[in-house]
Every structure is written in structure tokens, then in C-alpha cells.
Structure 1
Amino acid sequence: MKLLVLALDGVFDTGLAAVLDTLGTANELAALQQLDVPPFDVQVIGLRRRVHTALGFGVPVQPLRGDEQPDWIVVPAIGTKMPEALCAALDRRDVQQAAAWLRDGHAGGARIASACIGSFVLAESGLLAGQDATTSWWLGPLFRQRYPEVRLDESRMLVPSGSFVTSGAALGHMDLALWLVRQASPELAAVTAKYLIVDHRASQAPYVIPDHLAHADPLVGRFERWARARLHEGFSLDDAAAALATSKRTLQRRIEAVLGKSPLSYVQDLRVERALHLLRTTRDDIERIATQVGYADGVTLRALLRRKLGRGVRELRSVPVQESASPSPAARRR
């Protein structure tokens, strides 16, 4: 399998290294395990003769050539993590050149994989129009605003769609690289994951901070604060709209446009966040926690946790608290 890894100036150090190390480890293990898997032929290419990572390290790159016929083009993230700076970076000449080159590569038969903010670079090409995709969870609102024709689900870690595959934030690069290995050999992917001590992560949902997403829009932010203060109550869209001095239709449309989900689904996210915090910081049983987050019984909450996080109550209680799964300081004061 021939892969071209596109390193743009300011490439995310961890992302580029994760892709290259995973594929390199897979090559070593294929030989060690005597697996009948052709080696991954990996080349790092660049649009500039000199490419530096976000931390300033030089990246040895091969120049682009017109005769390249890779199986996959891989687009790691650029190391620009916040919306305002990212918008400026996407307007750079080399990023726009990369988007044009991706269109040419895809027209020549290459499939394209992107990770984290690399999905923005791929979306700039227009190739993701009408496709399913994911990206860094905190940039979902910006992605929807900039590329409304892409079906985004930032809760997912990996999204194959047609001749494309996108992955989630930061260490989603490793999930992406393992997915590529799995296309050649599921056995090799499994042993590579064990050597690298990588667990299967089907979702970004356990890492999402709901109020961080809500701050992308003033009305959605106000709705988030209103909902948090009433998590122990039943949810009513009528009550929310009246409290926020807007119409139900406006509130529904704004939340769906910014967050890609209904108001009720977002309230469920807030309830999951609060329930997860209580599971890991108190000895309350699931029935008591359910009443604190607006449910009449623990059965409903158990089902919601399983659906949103992919784990049961016992598993969630035994896992160390992820920083991103903890409520914000503002939430703790409520």
C-alpha cells in the first residue's frame, strides 16, 4: 500500500508522528510476526521545500510530483487549534494549494484520509460535500458554519465515507493510522495496537465538554446556562423558549445549526456529563443520580449512558476521570 502523508507548514507534531510511528511499527511487526502483508510504502510530501512543525522542528519532505499514484493520501492536522487562528490558516496560500492538489489526487484515483483539523483542509477542497465526516470535537460549530454541505458528526472517532475517511481530535491520528493498517490486515492492526497500548475508541463523546461548544453562539450559550440550572427537572422546549425570550422554532434551528443536534439531545449531553461526574465523585447509587439529572428511574439513565458513552455504570465508575469529561469550573459552582 502506497501512502503519501501531506505535511503542511505548522503540521501538528503529535499527529504527524502518530501516523508515521504507527505505520512504521506495523511494518516492523509484519516482518516479526511473519505475516503475509505487503509493507506500507510511506512518503512524507510537502508543498514547500522547507516544512516545520507547529513546535518548530524541521520535517524532511519530498516534493510533489505529477506522476504519483498513491493508494491513500493522508492529511494530518495543522497545529492551529482555535477557530479564529484556524480560519486565518485555512486562507493561507499553501493550504489552498493543498486543497487543489487533493482534488487532483482524488481524480487520479487516490483515496484520502484526514485527522483532526486535517479534515478542515480536506473540506476546503470541496471533496467532502455530501459525505459523512468527523473532526476535532470542539470545532464542530465552526465546521458546520464553513462546510454546511458536509454531514458532520463530531461525536464519532472514525468516519469512513465513500473514498474518504476522517478521524477525531489529536490522538485520533493513531486511530486513523490503525484503521489504514486494518484495511491491509486486521491481525496486524490488532498486534500493532497492543504494542502501542492503544485502546479501541469508537467515540469522542466521553471527551466532549458541552458548554465549550455552546459558547460558539450567544443564544445557545444562554440556553446551556438555563438548561444546566434545571437538569433535575423535566425538559420543555416551550419553557426554554419563553425563558430566553425567543420562539421555539428559532431556538430549535439555532441549536441544530451550531451543535448539529436537537435541544433535547443537547440537554441529554448535559445530563450525561453531570451523571458521569457524580458517578466518579460520589457514592450515590444510580437511582439517586438519576433524580439529580432529571430522570424518574435509573433504567433510563443507564440506557442513555450506554448509548452516549458506550459503557455501563460499573465501567464508568472504575475508569479514572478524564479531564475533558469533568464539568467546567462554572458547572461545579452551580
Structure 2
Amino acid sequence: MRIVVLALDGLFDTGLAVTLDALTAANGLASRLMGGTPRFEVSTVGVRKRVRSGQGFTIPVQAITPDLKPDWVIVPALGATTPELLLPALERADVKRAVAQLQAWHREGARIAASCIGTFLLAEAGLLDDRPATTTWSLAPLFRQRYPRVSLDESRMLVPTHIGVTAGAAMGHLDLALWLIRTASPELAALVSRYLLADIRSAQAPYVIPNHLAQADPLIQQFERWARDHLKNGFSLQEAAGALATSTRTLQRRCQEVLGKSPLSYFQDLRVERAQSLLHGSGLDIEAIAAEVGYEDGATLRTLLRQRLGRGVRDLRVELL
């Protein structure tokens, strides 16, 4: 499998390094433990002759030539972690050249993979239009508003489609690399996972910080503050809209546009976050914690935690020790 890693100025150092390290480990383990030749021919290329990482390190890159015919192209994230940094970065000449090159590779049959903020380049190229995708959860509101044709689900860590695969935030680069290795050999992927002490995570949901997402929109910020003050009372859409001096329809629309979910779903996110905090530090039993977040019994909270986080109360307590 011929893999091209497309390096851009200001990229996320860890994203590039963990991708290359995982693929190198796969080749080494395939040779030493599985008696095979390396599975992956990896090249790091750039649209510029000189590329520097976000931490200022020079990245040796090869030029993109007409005879370069990758099976897969991997786009590591840019290190622009806020809308104020990312939006100007997307207008850079080298980024626009990279977007055009992705379109060309896609037309030639290459599959495209990106993690974290790298997914924005795929969306800029139009490769995700009318397709499911994920991205870094922290910039999901910006992604959703900028690319309305993409069916975004930032709760997922990996979303494969026929054009390639998108992965979630930051260390999602490692999840992506393990996924690619698994497409070549599940046995080899298991070895690499053990070697690197890493497993593919199925979801980003347990890592999302609701307060961070609320900052993308003034009305959502107000709703978040109201919701935190009313967790014990239960949710009322009419009451929330009235307290914010807006209509229920407007509140529902803004939540969907910014967060990709209903006001009730976001309210439940806050319940989950608060319950996790109490499981960690309060010493309360599950019934008392349920009352703190507006449920009459612990069974309902147990169900919500398992639905949202994929783990039960006992597992969550163990994880937090």
C-alpha cells in the first residue's frame, strides 16, 4: 500500500509524528514478527519545498511529481486550534494548492484520510459533501456552519466512506493510523496496538467539553448557563426559551445549527458531565447523584451514562480512581 502524507506549514507536530511512527512500527513488526515484508510504502510530501511544523521544526518533504500515484493520502491537522487562527490559515496559498492536489488525487482514484483539523481540508475540497464525516469535536460548530452539506457527527472517532476516512481530535491521528493498518491486516493492527499501548476508540463523546462548544454562539452560551443552574429541576424547553427572551423555535434552530443536536440533548450532555464529576469527587451514591442532575432514580441515570459514554457506573468509577 503506497501512502502519501501531505505536510503543510504549521501542522500539528504530534499528529504527523504519531502517524509516521505507527506506520513505521507496522512495517517493523510485519518484518520481525510476521515474517513478511513491509506493508506500507510511506512518503511525506509538500506543496512547498520547505515545510516547518507548528513547533518550528523543519520537515523533510518530497516534491509532488506526476508519477506519484498513492493508494492513500493522509492529511495531518494544521496547528490552528481556534476559528481565529484556522479561518486565515484556510485562505493561505499553500493550503489552497493542497486542496487542489487532494481533488486531483481523488480524481485519480486515491482514497483520502484526515484527522482533527485536517478534515477541514477535505471539506474545503468538497470531498465530504453529502457524506458522513467527523472532525475535532472542539471545532465542530465552525465545521457545521462552514460546510452545511456535510453530514457531521463529531461524537464518532472514525467515519469511513468510499472516498476515505475522517477521524476525530488530536490523538485521533493514532486511531486513524491503526484503522489504516487494520485494513491491510487485522493481525498486524493488533500487534501495533499492543506495541504502542493504544486501542482504536469508537467515540469522541466521552471527551467533549460542553462549555467549550457553547462558546461558539452567544445564545448557546446563555442556554448553557441556564441549563447548569436548572439541572436538578429537569428540562423545560418553554422555560428555557422564556428565560433567554427567545422563542422555542429559535432556541431549537440555534442548537441544531451550532451543536447539531436538540436543546434537550445538550441538556443531557450537561447532566452526563455533572454526573461524571460527582462520581469522581463527591462520594455520593448513584441515587443521590441522579437527584443532583434531575432524575428520580439511579436507573435512569445509569441508562443515560451507558448510552452516552458506552460504560456503566462501576467502570466510570474505576477509570477515575
Q: Same-fold call, TM > 0.5?
A: yes
Whole-angstrom CA distance in 2 between matches of 1:35 and 1:289: 54
The alpha-carbon deviation at position 38 of structure 1 amounts to 5.1
Q: Is the 8 A contact 2:9 2:52 kept in 1?
A: yes
Structure 2 residue 149 is the aligned partner of structure 1 residue 137: no
Q: Is the 8 A contact 1:37 1:184 kept in 2?
A: no
Runs of 4 or more, structure 1, over 6 Å off, are none
The alpha-carbon deviation at position 19 of structure 1 amounts to 0.4
Q: C-alpha offsets along residues 7-51 of structure 1, whole Å, 9 cap, x if unaligned?
A: 011111000000000000000001111255752000000000000
Whole-angstrom CA distance in 1 between matches of 2:209 and 2:32: 42
Residue matched to 2:299: 299
Whole-angstrom CA distance in 2 between matches of 1:162 and 1:316: 35
In the TM superposition, 1:75-114 aligns within 5 A as 75-114=75-114
Whole-angstrom CA distance in 1 between matches of 2:262 and 2:292: 22
The alpha-carbon deviation at position 68 of structure 1 amounts to 1.8
The alpha-carbon deviation at position 260 of structure 1 amounts to 0.5
SS across alignment from 2:232: coil
Residue matched to 2:268: 268
Residue matched to 2:67: 67
Q: C-alpha offsets along residues 45-91 of structure 1, whole Å, 9 cap, x if unaligned?
A: 00000001000111110101122221100000011111111000001
SS across alignment from 1:43: strand
SS across alignment from 2:144: helix
Structure 2 residue 42 is the aligned partner of structure 1 residue 42: yes
Moved more, 36-45 or 285-294: 36-45
Q: Is the 8 A contact 2:210 2:269 kept in 1?
A: yes
Q: C-alpha offsets along residues 220-248 of structure 1, whole Å, 9 cap, x if unaligned?
A: 11001001100011211111111111111
Q: Is the 8 A contact 2:39 2:184 kept in 1?
A: no
Gaps of 5+ in 1: 322-334
Q: Is the 8 A contact 2:29 2:192 kept in 1?
A: yes
Residue matched to 1:229: 229
TM-score w.r.t. length of structure 2? 0.98
Moved more, 246-255 or 195-204: 195-204
Structure 2 residue 1 is the aligned partner of structure 1 residue 9: no
Residue matched to 2:33: 33
Structure 2 residue 285 is the aligned partner of structure 1 residue 285: yes
Residue matched to 1:326: none
CA RMSD of aligned residues (A): 1.1
Q: C-alpha offsets along residues 143-171 of structure 1, whole Å, 9 cap, x if unaligned?
A: 01111111111111111122220111111
SS across alignment from 2:231: coil
Q: C-alpha offsets along residues 128-155 of structure 1, whole Å, 9 cap, x if unaligned?
A: 1011111111100100111111111111
Q: Is the 8 A contact 2:15 2:171 kept in 1?
A: yes
Whole-angstrom CA distance in 2 between matches of 1:290 and 1:162: 43
Moved more, 15-24 or 200-209: 200-209
SS across alignment from 1:66: coil
Residue matched to 2:197: 197
Whole-angstrom CA distance in 2 between matches of 1:17 and 1:62: 17
Whole-angstrom CA distance in 1 between matches of 2:127 and 2:39: 28
In the TM superposition, 1:100-179 aligns within 5 A as 100-179=100-179
Whole-angstrom CA distance in 1 between matches of 2:320 and 2:43: 38
Q: C-alpha offsets along residues 251-294 of structure 1, whole Å, 9 cap, x if unaligned?
A: 10001000000101100100000000000112211111111101
Residue matched to 1:215: 215
Number of corresponding residues:
321
Q: Is the 8 A contact 1:37 1:185 kept in 2?
A: no
Whole-angstrom CA distance in 2 between matches of 1:38 and 1:161: 26
Gaps of 5+ in 2: none
Residue identity in the other structure for 1:23: L
Residue matched to 2:58: 58
Structure 2 residue 305 is the aligned partner of structure 1 residue 316: no
Whole-angstrom CA distance in 2 between matches of 1:140 and 1:179: 22
Whole-angstrom CA distance in 2 between matches of 1:106 and 1:38: 25
Whole-angstrom CA distance in 2 between matches of 1:87 and 1:242: 34
Residue identity in the other structure for 2:52: H
Whole-angstrom CA distance in 2 between matches of 1:47 and 1:320: 44
Q: Is the 8 A contact 1:76 1:173 kept in 2?
A: yes
The alpha-carbon deviation at position 199 of structure 1 amounts to 3.0
Residue matched to 2:249: 249
Whole-angstrom CA distance in 2 between matches of 1:241 and 1:17: 47
Residue matched to 2:24: 24
